[in-house]
Structure 1
Amino acid sequence: MRSTIPLGKWAGVPVGLHWSVALTVVLIATSLAESVLPELDPGETRTAYWVAAVIVALAFFLSLIAHELAHTVVARRHDVEVDSITLWLLGGVSRFSSEPDDPSVELRLSMAGP
């Protein structure tokens, strides 16, 4: 995917971040801090809402990484090579250089991730 920022290699697999993830994290944090959290728990300071919102938005980002790494772990257990992982607006994409021979392995790959 174009316009990605390399985050390094995890488990030997290059991981990239598309600019849209930053936009998603900002939108989640802003929505939580300015709308959702003040309605759920009125009376807190604006700073408290923003701190909580940023923590939740970063947890969302970390869950994307964990999910894609789970696909990678399952792929490797079944001798499927993973070329790269790209995190983007709608989640993540794990690119495989080979396909599993067995449909049940493909099902496990698809279902992997928290």
Structure 2
Amino acid sequence: MQATTDTVTVRGPDGEPKTFNNVTTLMGNLGLFIKSDESVEMYVWENVLYMKWTEVKARTAIWEEALAELIADAFDDEWEEDEDYEDEAPEPAPKKEPAPEVKEEPETKADSDDPNVNPYSS
């Protein structure tokens, strides 16, 4: 959003606060662009310390933009929470299958005279 800003205070490259008066500002994702008669400068949001608007049109536009952004962020957060909830749906418990029944057959004594019996397997 572009607006005429009465006062902007930023942290300069040397780490010291720097104040601009009556400049055109452009707010972007990367940071704040400040256009004065001498130059155009860009400051990342971490270095923007203070901004003030007194012009009625600028105040109204800035306020509407801020509200729209807050509402959009709230819906984005709510949407992400809904997606997280769907991802965390409980998995159905695995069905326990009954163990197969094992029938024990009585061992028969091997007869050494029986040709069908292998005497070397026990």
Q: TM-score, normalised by structure 2?
A: 0.30
Name the TM-score, length of structure 1 as normaliser.
0.32
Q: Which has the larger radius of gyration?
A: 2
- RCO higher in 1 or 2 (8 Å CA, sep ≥ 6)? 1
Larger proportion of helix:
1
